[in-house]
């Protein structure tokens, strides 16, 4: 399970005195635990991956803020945290594979305009969950439907 891997990685980071990995894994475990306590459930690996994706998204937004505030030290630290988090995502699909999945979904649905974007996104959501950047997927679907 992914949560077991997180615990093992936390122990390894502590032994190796890897401060960035230790703090990032601790933060991720805290986010997972918070949701488990709030909802009184045991999260599956897929739900843990969703949390990792959300954390990465938040950190990318923070990088933009740090760049505006001219804080290269914080940008560098946040990028290091993102690289630690990305290790817990499933293998990412190439852009060609993503485009092929999108084309297949558009053909199956018979989508022809932007009105069909929600249907296409719904059809591919499960197949691409955690395996591709959602912004890239949405932009690609939008481009295909506006051609």
Q: Is the pLDDT of residue 130 over 80?
A: no
Residue 112 pLDDT: 87
Among the residues of 40-133, which ranges form H helices?
45-68, 72-86, 95-109, 117-128
92 falls in which pLDDT band (50, 70, 90)? confident
- Chain segment 1-27, per-residue pLDDT in tens: 899 999 999 999 999 999 999 999 999
Is the CATH number of domain 95-145 3.40.50.1860? Answer: no
- Domain ranges, ordered by start, for the chain: 2-86, 95-145
CATH architecture of the domain 2-86 equals Orthogonal Bundle (1.10)
- Chain segment 25-67, per-residue pLDDT in tens: 999 999 999 999 999 999 998 899 989 989 999 999 999 999 9
């Amino acid at each position: 399970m992914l949560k077991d891997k997180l615990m093992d990685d936390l122990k390894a980071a502590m032994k190796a005195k890897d401060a960035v990995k230790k703090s990032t894994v601790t933060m991720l475990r805290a986010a997972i635990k918070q949701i488990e306590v709030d909802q009184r459930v045991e999260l599956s690996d897929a739900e843990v991956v969703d949390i990792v994706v959300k954390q990465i998204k938040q950190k990318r937004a923070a990088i933009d803020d740090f760049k505006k505030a001219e804080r290269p030290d914080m940008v560098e630290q946040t990028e290091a945290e993102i690289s630690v988090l990305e290790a817990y995502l499933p293998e990412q699909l190439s852009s060609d594979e993503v485009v092929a999945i999108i084309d297949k979904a558009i053909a199956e649905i018979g989508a022809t305009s932007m009105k069909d974007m929600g249907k296409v996104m719904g059809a591919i959501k499960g197949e691409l969950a955690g395996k591709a950047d959602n912004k890239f997927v949405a932009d690609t679907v939008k481009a295909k439907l506006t051609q």
